[in-house]
Amino acid sequence: MNKNTEAHLAVLGANIIFAANYSIVKYITPSHIHPFALNFVRVASCIILFWALWLFKPGPIGIQRKHLSRFLLCGITGVLINQLFFIKGVALSTSIHSALLSLCTPIFITIIAAWLIKERLTLLKLIGLAFGVGGALLLIFLKDQNHTGTNVLLGDLLVIINAVSYAFYLVLVRPLMASYSAIHVLRWVFTLGGILMLPVCASEFFATDWQAFETSHFVALGFIAIGATFFAYLFNVFGIAKIGPSATGTYIYTQPVFAALIAMIFAGEHFSWIKGFATIMIFSGVYLANYKKAIN
């Protein structure tokens, strides 16, 4: 098997893991562990594993002072806000809603890039933004009686905030990738974000009743903390290195498909025609907002 095939399989695997993560998060939280406590486990595990990688393959360890503020901003947007709002949002909403709304990230990247780095907003991009935002609003205000969420509206809004924060992170992190390796950037982004997250999550972590956990709950926790964060991130980094960011990024569009199938089979969720229409709007919006990039 050549490296390109391995990279495509790795990226596809990462997105299947991300897709399964929506339903697995709902399985374990908030019924057995508070969302913030789950975030604490998730981020702390990644910090340990990313630094363990450095022990096995030592390299440059520090960051330049001129990049410290950008690393802090990436830690805030890519870990603190992104992780906290994602887990809390998924816990309150449904797996299908969360997966579809997370797909809006490329649309928000277009808006943020136009604001921060002055990328030109063409008519097609503006139409794409309208379609994407319209599809997201349709999902948010959808009156769905057959759902697994306890507060779908609030959960959807938190997932949207998560997507906006992650879009900021992706724009802010680009210059750092030119000066450091991807693993080095991830190591420090998670470390700084984890330090900022500690005061928010520590009390919920120590309040968790670990004795009430069954084997399946620990397996789910391990999947979220190690599989859906550490390994999935590594798979994507491997994909970016071998087949490039554009090819790697296209696989994000498989996530809602896998997430919907997993949620319907294992979590009893339903996919209505209105959700289908919202999906078409979001996909169309993402395509139009990025059309120029796709043909360059």
> pLDDT for 189-233, tens place per residue?
999 999 999 999 999 999 999 999 999 999 999 999 999 888 888
Domain count, the chain: 1
Please give the mean pLDDT across all residues of the chain: 82
295 has a pLDDT exceeding 60:
no
Q: How confident is the model at residue 43 (pLDDT cuts 50, 70, 90)?
A: very high
Q: What is the pLDDT of residue 249?
A: 66
Each residue of 111-137: pLDDT tens digit?
776 666 666 667 777 787 777 777 767
Dist CA 163 CA 103 (whole Å): 8
Separation of alpha carbons 105 and 123, rounded Å: 19
Give the residue numbers spanning the domain of 291.
3-295
